[in-house]
Amino acid sequence: MSAKAVFLSSVCGLYLMIGSAYAAGPTQEQLNNAENDGANWLYADHDYPGHRYSPLGQINTKNAADLAQVCSYRFPEKMPAQTAPIVYNGVIFATTAHYTVALDGATCKPIWQYQWKPRDHETFVTQRGAAIKDGKIVRGTADGYLIALDAETGKEVWVRQVVKPTDGYFFSMPPLIYDDLVLIGPAGSEFASKGWVGAFKLSDGEQVWKFNNVPDPGEPGAETWGPDPSILKHGGGNLWTPMSLDVEKGWLYVPVGNPAPDFFDRHRPGDNLYTGSVVALDVHTGKLAWYYQAVPHDVRDYDLSHASPVFTTNIDGKAHTLLALNGKDGLLRGLDRDTRTIVYSVPFTTRENAEGDLKPELGRVCPGLLGGHEWNGGAYSPRLHALFMPATDWCNHIVPDKEAPSPKGQNKQGQFFGGKFEFEPWDKARGWVGAFDDATGKKLWQYQSAKPVIASVAATGGDLVFVGELTGDFLAFDAKDGKVLFKHDLGGPAAGGVVSYAVGGKQYVGVVSGFVGGYYHQLAPAIEGGNPTITVFTLKP
């Protein structure tokens, strides 16, 4: 099907949905088929396999230079601009730490705005997006609550606190919704907590199941942490990035973060399951189907941050389904879903002293704690059979402590690292956008950015790749060769999502920019940024 036909099909689908009851969707069928939906962007990563790809081709390599800004929306608070927007029926839904908004996708005018007023201590304040299904918007908060809002009005449907900040927990990741299940896990490894992922009823927030990313004493995997069972209580393995879902198999793919304490490992010998792993769970029951540990016994804060995109490609004449495993260690791994073997493993940024024991004499460590990949992973074009990966190229020095840190008092203050780290000067920090063959991992092209690329990338049926930079620029690349076809100054650094969708027969592209938050406001004050802003582009009339 041509790009034009795909676009028209998507737009026709949009008109049909507008004629139906708004509160009825998106339905499970729509979410299952989101890969082929150009009108909407229904999940933080566009679809369950995490392709970050829109089949729309109205904006393409021939006319990308004719893009123009049509509107923007500025959030009322200066909080980290790390959100991954979603789009349904021409409406953009986006979040900050305390706000959830619905915007007209063609004009950026607010339809409704909801403000969360914290009810407990906020462990760490950042927010990376919401999920939508059956007329409900669901998100987490920094004080451990899950909130469900009416997608049409913004009114509360239910509110439930599911984790306690006093245990070092907070929510930052976007949920994934399947059937009547809201799937999410809390962050907090650096606050002496222990990670898990759980399922909660979309209807009322009641917990359905829970899987421990760091086992309890006596559970399978506990033996990989050494003889002291007390280590498990504060073992890390938390979640802070989007999950992916294999509808065919019924498996939820969970990218599990780093063990804790990060650098001091004397009291946690062994592989430290299930940290640094992709864990495949039965989505309905939470039972373990299988796992693959990409970073055993991590001592560099090298979270496995993404178990996506998930895609099928041809290798030696046979179809293989691969998971693109990638994270902060700077490696892109193609993991065969069915054999659980690595087909390829290739670096997408500078790697130096990235493996082995951590010793002061190692000197610089690359990537540093802020990359490879942070909260935004890669995109996948089924048209070009290519993966597109944003990357940070910024090294640091790490010195582990001589004694184990105490988890006492960490729940509010953080810094359960077990060592000290120092980044190289900001003027040495760089970034990449790279394209890789999906079957072999061969590098197809690479663009170097003046600063780390931590915003998401979005690929389209117009053979374009869109990305925001910390420099404040919004770029459109020719996906085939990496040539920059469009560049626009956003007025602030970009570290959030990029989405493409259709409204009224026109294709739009939206990008999030503003205050980055996290360690960036301490280490890189030159990119401070203002309130989170969503900027929308389309072709000039």
Token code pair at residue 336: 């065969």
Confidence grade of residue 9 (pLDDT, cut at 50, 70, 90): very low
C-alpha dihedral (214, 414, 431, 71), degrees to nearest 10: 100
pLDDT at residue 361 greater than cutoff 90:
no
CATH number at residue 206: 2.140.10.10
Residue 222's Cα: distance from chain center in Å? 28
* Mean pLDDT value across residues 501-513: 97
Q: Give the bridge partners for 430, in sequence order.
A: 393
State the chain's mean pLDDT as an integer.
Answer: 94
- Give CA–CA dist 276/273, Å, rounded: 8
User: Which two three-digit tokens encode residue 188?
Assistant: 């907090």
Mean pLDDT of 374-382: 96
pLDDT score at 12: 42
Rounded to an integer, the average pLDDT of 482-502 is: 98
Closest CA to 155 of 92, 123, 113: 113
Query: Quick one: which H or E segment has residue 522?
Result: helix 520-523
| 284-325 residue pLDDT tens | 999 999 999 999 999 999 999 999 999 999 999 999 999 999
pLDDT at 69 over 50: yes
Q: What is the pLDDT of residues 199-231, one digit of tens each?
A: 999 999 999 999 999 999 999 999 999 999 999
Cα Rg, the chain, nearest whole Å: 21
Domain boundaries, position 420 = 3-539
| Arithmetic mean of pLDDT, 371-377 | 92
CA distance 20 to 198: 32
Distance of alpha carbon 116 from the chain centroid:
22
- The single residue listed with the structure tokens 């989170």 is 532
**Number of neighbouring beta carbons within 10 Å of residue 8:** 16
Which tokens belong to 413?
């203050």
Give the pLDDT band (50/70/90) at residue 518. confident
**CA distance linking residue 241 with residue 255, whole number of Å:** 8
Taken in order 208, 102, 60, 9, is the CA torsion positive or negative?
positive
Phi and psi dihedrals of 412, rounded to 5? -110, -30
Strands 364-365 and 91-95: unpaired
What was the pLDDT predicted at 90? Answer: 98
Distances (CA, A) of 427 to 364, 421, 525: 16, 18, 12
Confidence of residue 360 (pLDDT cuts 50, 70, 90): confident
Which tens digits make up the pLDDT trace of 423-462? 999 999 999 999 999 999 999 999 999 999 999 999 999 9
- Is the distance from CB of 350 to CB of 367 less than 8 angstroms? yes
Let me know how long the chain is: 541
Q: What is the H or E stretch that residue 3 is in? A: helix 3-18
Q: What is the pLDDT of residue 242?
A: 98
Query: What is the pLDDT at residue 363?
Result: 76
With a cut of 60, say whether residue 372 has pLDDT above it. yes
Cα–Cα dist 264/231, whole Å:
12
Kindly report the number of other CB atoms within 10 A of residue 168's CB atom. 28
Render the burial of 146-157: b for 16+ CB within 10 Å, e for the rest: bbbbbbbebeeb
Q: What is the domain count for the chain?
A: 1
Distances (CA, A) of 444 to 220, 384, 391, 400: 41, 11, 15, 38
With H, G, I as helix, E, B as strand and everything else as coil, classify residue 218: coil
Q: List beta partners, residue 445.
A: 435
Alpha-carbon span 219 to 401, nearest angstrom:
30
**In this structure, are residues 492 and 530 in contact, taking their beta carbons and an 8 Å threshold?**
yes
Confidence (pLDDT) at 192: 95
Tokens 């072999």 appear where?
440
Looking at the DSSP bridge assignments, the partners of residue 96 are: none
Q: Which pLDDT tens digit goes with each residue over 390-427?
A: 999 999 999 999 899 999 878 777 889 999 999 999 99
Q: What is the DSSP letter of 216?
A: P
Residue 119 pLDDT > 60, yes or no? Answer: yes
* Per-residue pLDDT tens over the stretch 325-355: 999 999 999 999 999 999 999 999 999 999 9
List Cβ neighbours of 177 (8 Å cut-off, separation of 6 or more).
31, 131, 132, 133, 138, 183, 202
- Beta bridge pairs of residue 435: 388, 445
- Kindly report, residue by residue over 250-286, the tens digit of the pLDDT: 999 999 999 999 999 999 999 999 999 999 999 999 9
| 3 state SS of 212 | strand
- Residue 521's pLDDT is 86
Q: Write down the residue that tokens 């915007």 correspond to.
A: 103
What distance in Å separates the CA atoms of residue 278 and residue 472, rounded to the nearest whole number?
33
Q: CA angle, corner 442, sides to 439 and 448, nearest 5?
A: 130
DSSP string for 385-435: TEEEEEEEE--EEEEE-SSPPP-TTHHHH----SEEEEEPPGGG-EEEEEE
pLDDT at 18: 40
CB 185 within 8 A of CB 191: no
Q: How far apart are CA 540 and CA 156, in angstroms?
A: 39
Instruction: Please state the pTM of the whole predicted model.
Output: 0.95
- If one counts every other C-beta atom within 10 angstroms of the C-beta of residue 515, the result is 25
